[in-house]
């Protein structure tokens, strides 16, 4: 049977290569992934490899278990599955683990040592797990799985699984995107959409791990393995030119930036906004592009995506009770967790009778790893015309410093 009746419509099996199937689920309506806004939803990709032995790679978030099981049933009887390979334990991939293992009566469960510990802590200890080490191989008959440990991409347990004969690598969270679509492959989706989706995902989930990404890319290149298809656990599968996403990751991990400044601000009665606009004009006059983003109207994760390929970040906040606006504190806490590297920064804002917001924001920027290159610009009450000229100059001078950074 090729067509699956699911949720009132027929869905065709998706085959990556002969005997290798996508059996995941599409979460069209996900709008928040632990704080990262996902306006395009996501997918939870699981894969089925049918050979003399049958292997299921990962499961899906629990509410989607029926979609996973129905897709599997359209290809094989779940009780015929020999191996459940757990590349990553986070609950968007192992949420339906207990339900699925109940159906996979004869399957051996395969994970890393760290994965075993995490599976026990999340799902109880009522099952056996075969632990694999980096480089271990598992034959399914004509296809061989090779396991590549990738700790902290995204959890300590994480690993990738490579099908040697088919040159397909299943990369778990790596190279994914939160992008729900009726398409499954990169050659079916506009490249700009994919670049933005992959960049947003990288900056909000993996940016912190950029040094590990660099090492991973080197490791894959040094292993000399040929790759026809990169199959992540989220979003679109890369088959037209897998090096494209590897090169994008390499650029992001190495901090490639264009001549752009992100200006993230909020305002109480409009004074800091006036400053922001005057500073932005100065930045543009110096020849850089600028992205003005008011936090009240913009999700943190969108600002982070803009920052990924920018050289600099300016923070604008008025003083409230001797400190920055709470919304800015939240943003800078989020930023600090991601540890963007190679960015320069500065602060500005208005105050009434006593400042303090800029210094607090500057400290948080430093904590996030941003290199402060400008004295804070704080102005009292509503900026005068002269003071707005000062803001303009501040923008120009700051932009010149951004131009000097590599
Ligand atoms: Fe897609 Fe780290 O989970």
Q: Which atom of ligand 1 is nearest to the CA of 234?
A: 1
Tokens of 332: 């800078």
Tell me what pLDDT residue 222 has: 86
Taking CA atoms only, the protein residue closest to ligand 1 atom 1 is 173
User: Are both 212 and 277 inside the same structural domain?
Assistant: no
Task: Pick the last residue of a domain from 195, 229, 253.
Answer: 253
CB of 173 within 6 A of ligand 1: the answer is yes
φ/ψ of 265, rounded to 5, equals -150, 165
Active-site residue identified among 44, 47, 83, 88: 88
User: Are both 222 and 266 inside the same structural domain?
Assistant: no
Active-site residue identified among 173, 186, 233, 273: 173
Distant-in-sequence contacts of 301-305, Cβ < 8 A, 24+ apart: 301/35, 301/36, 301/37, 301/200, 301/204, 302/37, 302/200, 303/262, 303/264, 303/331, 304/200, 304/203, 304/204, 304/207, 304/334, 304/335, 304/338, 304/340, 305/196, 305/199, 305/200, 305/203, 305/204
User: Are both 210 and 236 inside the same structural domain?
Assistant: yes
Partnered with residue 315 across adjacent β-strands are 264, 347
User: Are both 188 and 97 inside the same structural domain?
Assistant: yes
The closest alpha carbon to 282, from 197, 116, 399, 401, belongs to 399
Length of the chain: 406
Q: Which atom of ligand 1 is nearest to the CA of 205?
A: 2
User: Are both 292 and 205 inside the same structural domain?
Assistant: no
Our answer to whether residue 201 is catalytic in this structure is: yes
Our answer to whether residue 173 is catalytic in this structure is: yes
Give the burial class of 268: count Cβ atoms within 10 A of its Cβ; 0-12 exposed, 13-18 middle, 19 or more buried.
middle
Tokens of 353: 């009778």
Number of domain units in the chain = 2
Tell me what pLDDT residue 220 has: 83
Q: What is the CATH number of the domain that holds 285?
A: 3.40.50.360
User: Are both 165 and 221 inside the same structural domain?
Assistant: yes
CB of 93 within 6 A of ligand 1: the answer is yes
Task: Pick the last residue of a domain from 253, 272, 287.
Answer: 253
Our answer to whether residue 82 is catalytic in this structure is: no
Active-site residue identified among 44, 93, 154, 299: 154
Tell me what pLDDT residue 105 has: 84
Q: What is the CATH number of the domain that holds 150?
A: 3.60.15.10
Tell me what pLDDT residue 8 has: 43
Taking CA atoms only, the protein residue closest to ligand 1 atom 3 is 90
Which mean pLDDT values do the consecutive 10-residue runs of the chain (406 residues) have? 50 92 97 93 98 98 96 95 98 96 93 97 94 97 97 94 98 97 97 97 96 89 91 98 94 94 98 98 98 97 97 98 97 97 97 96 98 98 98 98 89
User: Are both 57 and 125 inside the same structural domain?
Assistant: yes
Look up the domain containing 235 and give its range: 2-253
Our answer to whether residue 154 is catalytic in this structure is: yes
Round to whole Å and give the CA distance between 392 and 119: 56
Round to whole Å and give the CA distance between 29 and 26: 9
Angle at 280 between CA 205 and CA 405, to 5 degrees: 60
User: Are both 26 and 50 inside the same structural domain?
Assistant: yes
User: Are both 39 and 56 inside the same structural domain?
Assistant: yes
User: Are both 123 and 48 inside the same structural domain?
Assistant: yes
Angle at 36 between CA 33 and CA 38, to 5 degrees: 70
User: Are both 144 and 266 inside the same structural domain?
Assistant: no
User: Are both 181 and 320 inside the same structural domain?
Assistant: no
The rounded Å distance from CA 324 to ligand 1 centre is: 33
Task: Pick the last residue of a domain from 232, 253, 274.
Answer: 253
Q: Which residue reads 């943190």 in tokens?
A: 300
The rounded Å distance from CA 292 to ligand 1 centre is: 31
């Amino acid at each position: 049977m090729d067509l699956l009746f699911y949720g009132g419509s027929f869905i065709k099996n998706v085959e990556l290569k002969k005997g290798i199937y996508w059996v995941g689920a599409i979460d069209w309506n996900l709008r928040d992934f632990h704080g990262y806004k996902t306006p395009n939803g996501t997918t939870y990709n699981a894969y089925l490899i049918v050979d003399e032995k049958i292997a299921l790679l990962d499961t899906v978030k629990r509410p989607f278990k029926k979609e996973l099981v129905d897709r599997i049933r359209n290809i094989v009887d779940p009780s015929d599955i020999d191996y459940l390979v757990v590349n990553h334990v986070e609950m968007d991939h192992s949420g339906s683990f207990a339900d699925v293992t109940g159906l996979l009566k004869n399957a051996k469960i395969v994970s890393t040592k760290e994965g075993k510990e995490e599976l026990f802590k999340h799902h109880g200890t009522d099952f056996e797990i075969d632990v694999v080490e980096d480089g271990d191989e598992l034959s399914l008959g004509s296809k061989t799985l090779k396991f590549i440990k990738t700790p902290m991409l995204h959890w300590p347990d994480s690993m990738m699984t490579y099908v040697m004969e088919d040159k397909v690598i299943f990369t778990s969270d790596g190279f994914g995107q939160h992008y729900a679509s009726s398409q499954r492959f990169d050659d079916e989706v506009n490249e700009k959409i994919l670049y933005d989706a992959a960049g947003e995902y990288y900056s909000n989930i993996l940016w912190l791990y950029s040094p590990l990404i660099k090492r991973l890319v080197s490791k894959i290149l040094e292993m000399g393995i040929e790759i026809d298809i990169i199959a992540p656990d989220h979003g679109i599968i890369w088959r037209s030119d897998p090096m494209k996403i590897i090169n994008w990751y390499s650029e992001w991990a190495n901090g490639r930036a264009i001549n752009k400044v992100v200006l993230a601000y909020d305002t109480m009665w409009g004074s800091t906004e006036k400053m922001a606009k005057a500073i932005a004009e100065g930045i543009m006059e110096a020849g850089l592009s600028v992205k003005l983003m008011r936090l009240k109207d913009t999700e943190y994760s969108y600002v982070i995506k803009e920052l990924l390929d920018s050289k600099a970040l300016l923070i604008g906040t008025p003083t409230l009770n001797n400190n920055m606006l709470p919304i800015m504190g939240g943003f800078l806490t989020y930023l600090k967790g991601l540890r963007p590297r190679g960015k320069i920064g500065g602060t500005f804002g208005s105050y009434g009778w006593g400042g303090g917001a800029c210094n607090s924001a500057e400290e948080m920027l430093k904590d996030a790893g941003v290199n402060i290159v400008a004295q804070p610009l704080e102005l009292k009450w509503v900026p005068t015309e002269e003071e707005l000229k000062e803001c303009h100059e501040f923008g120009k001078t700051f932009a010149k410093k951004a131009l000097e950074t590599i």
